[in-house]
Structure 1
Amino acid sequence: MTHNRQLTVLFVPESAYGPTNNCVGIADVLRRRGHRVVFAAEASWKGKLTVLGFEEDLVDLAPPAEGADRGQDPGQFWKDFVRDTAPEFRKPTIQQLETWIRPVWEELIAGARYCEPQLKEIIARARPDVIVEDNVVAFPALLTAGVPFVRINSCNPLEIKSPTVPPAFSGYPAADRTGWAAFRAEYNRTHRELWTSFNAWVVEQGAPPLSDLEFIHESRTTNLYVYPEAADYPRELGPTWRRLDSCVRETDTGSFDVPPGEGALIYFSLGSLGSADVELMRRIIGVLAKTPHRYVVSMGPLHEEIELAANMTGAAFLPQTSVLPHVDLVITHGGNNTTTESLHFGKPMVLLPLFWDQYDNAQRMDELGFGVRLDPYRCTAGELTTAVDRLLTDTALRTRLSATGSEIRGRDGLRTAADAIERSAEATGLRSRAPR
């Protein structure tokens, strides 16, 4: 799609790598089409986005600590949060609603409240034609700016709720409704008061009220979610929703040299947050060290505390989209980015879910036969290595995934998203743009 005027597009991603990288991929397409792209990213992303050709106008989600450097590792708050609360991940998902899921919402809401004045100032400076949010929590300033608002859901699609699909965060099967009602009732019990308070504040800021028990608005015109059709849930979504089969950024510039040696090549990553559980990383590395395969390991922010085995190579962070095309198998936490990128490149997965959307993605890949779900804390060494070997030798699955990946790539989610954002601005931008 070719747009007849330069737009200013303001992206507001969640601080974690997944949503920010998702936005980077789409924003890069828009930038190359001649549009001005501004990121209202969390402060720890300082300098990480300008090198990609974007403008940064950063926000603090909490009062900066005395002497803090805005150039700290991106998403450092959430890495620390995960590290300190990792014991919660050993609990059944229904128990995590009170001790993990609600505290996450509390932190997200606190950040939204704190940065509301900053976002208003950023909008006044940037004067965007369209605002794009990839987050799970509402920022009222984005709804009251007087310009088109586009929502991206780059977590798993169960967060777009429906009575015909399992409850988000549960990891429950799609074909068995046992426990669905109890999980939803517990979510209501643990979150009703928090939602009521947040919704009242959102309305006080001049934004529309939130839907019941939802912490973010839908766009009235353009809502995008990232999940391949081959893995999506059978249900009807409203006319404003559009699926992106994948959203794989083209900005990874790091080179990847395939490590020498024989045996299958396997990528192991628990994500930038999950890898903060150093004890778990060490345990899995110890199991994989005894296999005949080669491994590329994303070691994460605490990489200095992790020692790789002789059959492994790795780094704190890797250009994941450059690595995935070369591997035979992915061992992953099941975050939505890694899950959809693995399918994009046609790779089977062993999934070790830790929190949030990861249980749902792991369950979905397992029940569709695209991978094997295991409990990262309770699976035995034998269960892990058996799953690895079974997936590596399943030629029918590899053929199926190769075809699936080709289909996903052909749908070009990046440009589909960029087109939708341009159309959103074109449809209403001239009538409702903020004064210049």
Structure 2
Amino acid sequence: MSPAERALRPLTVLFAPESAYGPTNNCVGIGDVLRRRGHRVVFAAETSWKGRLAPLGFEEELVDLAPPPAQPQDAGQFWKDFVRDTAPEFRKPTIEQLDTWIKPVWEELISGARYCEPRLKEIIDQVRPDVIVEDNVVCFPALTTAGVPFVRIVSCNPLEMKGEHVPPPFSGYPTGDRSGWEEFRAAYDRTHRSLWSDFNAWVTEQGARPLPDLEFIHEGDLNLYVYPEAADYTDARPLGPAWHRLDSSVRETRERFAPPPGPAGGGALIYFSLGSLGSADLDLMRRVIASLARTPHRYIVSKGPLHEEIELPPNMWGEEFLPQPRILPLVDLVITHGGNNTTTEALHFGKPMILLPLFWDQHDNAQRMAELGYGVRLDPYRFTDAQLHGAIDRLLGDTALRRALTEVGETIRARNGLHEAADLIERAATG
């Protein structure tokens, strides 16, 4: 069978996303394009996502990452609880978070990978995929030893692909000042070397190839990462031919959204979200909302999992979940935690940002947007009203920035990252 003939046959594509909204929504967007092309799309989804993917036209194969809880959980509930309980760590400098937050996250991810390995092998035997697509940061050996092409998606900041001439991931350090880079890298090595060594030994015991030094996941036969060219680091850290950038990966949501009759007042319309995980820090949500209430603007607020405990003032409207891709084109400014999905989606629609980073790659995204002039980075726990309100006024009043971001957004949208990803996955499976 020729490559052209193979390209015409329906494929079975198995997606294995991390149990969080960002990676899952990314895979949903790409998977929907493949599904509409006639391919069979199956999700190996963590059990709390039961019933959420099938209505979108996908098959669900559920995976437990730990012994099942006594009561059913909401989608991604484990990580929401984890963030809520460890939120005090976010107040520390990033180098101090390495031992007290970054390492515990890796430990939880590794524990999940070890626990679900037998179940993933069962799913692969049952589904018999033509290609496997993982959007996660940790290796699941079953996904790489199935004898079919393995596609890795990086939906975090691309500093995840390390390089000598770019800042270390998780640091939030500037690209133009290398003074702290080596200290941070040494601290990462010191805090993570033993954990990586033990995990690498287990990965090879499962029949997978050894992991690269201090990396918790392999490269794939095909590697996709989501970040606009306008913000990328490729001038300082070129990537090999197996790597392909998607300028964005904004799902084509079916959800409708019309601006509510409120919120009251005039001024600009601003979107505020700390993501499904960051919004679990209730004290922080209330602090930001109280400060924004003292401005003349109107706000749409993504309230998150603790929505019932968040009261909004008259100049705000919000709900637990909001169709973010429908809202961003309508607003003038985005206030975000700096998660990769929201950061790249804001650029996709040409919107300036105020970034309040909490953990993981959010510090890197906040720093990158600030140093490129696309946004303002503020400390979420130490900003003053004057700083937040001043950033809002400056970004809203910067007409040159708004014109530049409009052009950036037009370029990103024209490149159609979702369809490019689907093309590349088809090619990997049939080439």
Q: TM-score, normalised by structure 2?
A: 0.97
CA distance in 2, matches of 1:42, 1:65: 13
Change in 2 beyond 3 A, CA 1:415/1:128: same
**What residue in structure 2 maps to residue 431 of structure 1?**
none
Q: Which residue of 1 aligns with 2:419?
A: 415
* One-letter code aligned to 2:103: R
Give 1:280's aligned residue.
Answer: 284
Q: Report the counterpart of residue 26 of structure 2 in structure 1.
A: 22
CA deviations on 1:360-399 (whole Å, 9 max, x unpaired) are 0000000000000000000111100100111001000000
Alignment partner of 2:368 out of 343, 364, 368: 364
Q: Which residue of structure 2 aligns with residue 90 of structure 1?
A: 91
The answer on whether the counterparts of 1:40 and 1:58 sit within 8 Å (CA) in structure 2 is yes
Aligned to 2:204: 203
Give secondary structure in 2 for the equivalent of 1:11. strand
Measured at CA, do residues 34 and 113 of structure 1 come closer, stay the same or move farther in structure 2, by a change above 3 Å? same
CA deviation digits over 1:106-135, x for unaligned, max 9?
000000000000000000111100000000
| Residue 7 (structure 1) aligned to one of 5, 11, 15 | 11
Q: Which residue of 2 aligns with 1:99?
A: 100
Could you list the per-position Cα deviations for residues 186-219 of structure 1 after superposition, in whole angstroms to 9, with x for gaps in the alignment? 0000000000000000000000100000000001
Spell out, residue by residue over 1:247-271, the C-alpha distance to the aligned partner (whole angstroms, 9 max, x if none). 0000241423254552100000000
2:273 aligns with 269
2:426 & 2:407 partners in 1: Cα distance?
31
Is residue 2:231 matched to residue 1:227?
no
Tell me the amino acid that sits aligned with residue 377 of structure 2.
Answer: R
Offset, 1:65: 1.9
- Per mean C-alpha deviation after superposition, the further-off stretch among 245-254 and 345-354 is 245-254
Question: Does 2:61 correspond to 1:57?
Answer: yes
The gaps in structure 2 that reach 5 residues or longer are none
Secondary structure of 2:15 counterpart:
strand
Q: Does 1:237 align with 2:239?
A: yes
Q: Which of 342, 345, 354 matches 1:341?
A: 345
Aligned to 2:409: 405
Write out per-residue CA displacement over residues 168-193 of structure 1, whole angstroms, 9 at most, x where no aligned residue: 00000001101000000000000000
Counterpart secondary structure, 1:230: helix
Please tell me whether the aligned partners of residues 258 and 326 of structure 1 are also in contact (alpha carbons under 8 angstroms): no
TM-score by length of 1: 0.96
User: In structure 1, the residue corresponding to 2:354 is in which secondary structure?
Assistant: strand
Whether the aligned pair in 2 keeps the contact of 1:259 and 1:313 (CA below 8 Å) is: no
What's the CA shift string for 1:121-173, capped at 9, x where partnerless?
00011110000000000000001111110000000000011111000000000
Taking the aligned partners of 2:44 and 2:428, their CA distance within structure 1 comes to: 19
Amino acid at match of 2:350: G
Q: Give the number of equivalent residue pairs.
A: 423
**CA, structure 1 residues 357+259, in 2 after alignment: closer, same or farther (shift >3 Å)?**
farther
Q: In structure 2, what is the equivalent of residue 190 of structure 1? A: 191
Secondary structure of the structure 2 residue equivalent to 1:213:
coil
Q: Where in structure 1 do 4 or more consecutive aligned residues deviate above 4 Å?
A: 258-261
Deviations 1:274-294, CA, capped at 9 Å, x for gaps: 000000000110010011100
Aligned to 1:393: 397
Secondary structure of the 1:246 match is coil
Q: Tell me the equivalent position of 2:180.
A: 179
Who is 1:304 aligned against? 308
Q: Which amino acid aligns with 2:384?
A: T
Cα deviation, 1:67-107, whole Å, max 9, x if unaligned, reads x22xx311100000000000000000000000000000000
Give the C-alpha shift of residue 37 in structure 1: 0.2
- Give the Cα–Cα distance (whole angstroms) in 1 for the partners of residues 351 and 185 of structure 2: 33
Work out the CA distance in 1 between the residues paired with 2:223 and 2:37. 21
What SS does the aligned partner of 1:150 have? strand
Counterpart of 1:304 in 2: which secondary structure? helix
* Paired residues of 1:15 and 1:41 also in contact (CA < 8 A): yes
Whole-angstrom CA distance in 1 between matches of 2:384 and 2:192: 35
Match of 2:388 in 1: 384
Instruction: Decide whether the 8 Å contact of 2:270 with 2:297 is kept in 1.
Output: yes
Q: Give the residue type in structure 2 aligned to 1:255.
A: F
**Distance in 2 separating the partners of 1:236 and 1:27:** 28
Matched with 1:248 is 250
Query: In 2, Cα distance between the equivalents of 1:329 and 1:400?
Result: 14
Distance 2:206 2:261 in 1: 54
Determine the C-alpha separation between the residues in 1 that align with 2:145 and 2:397: 54
**Separation in 2 of the partners of 1:17 and 1:368?**
27
| Partner in structure 2 of residue 213 of structure 1 | 214
Q: Which amino acid aligns with 1:225?
A: Y
Q: Secondary structure at the match of 1:356?
A: coil
Cα RMSD for the two superposed structures = 1.1
Note if 1:143 corresponds to 2:147. no
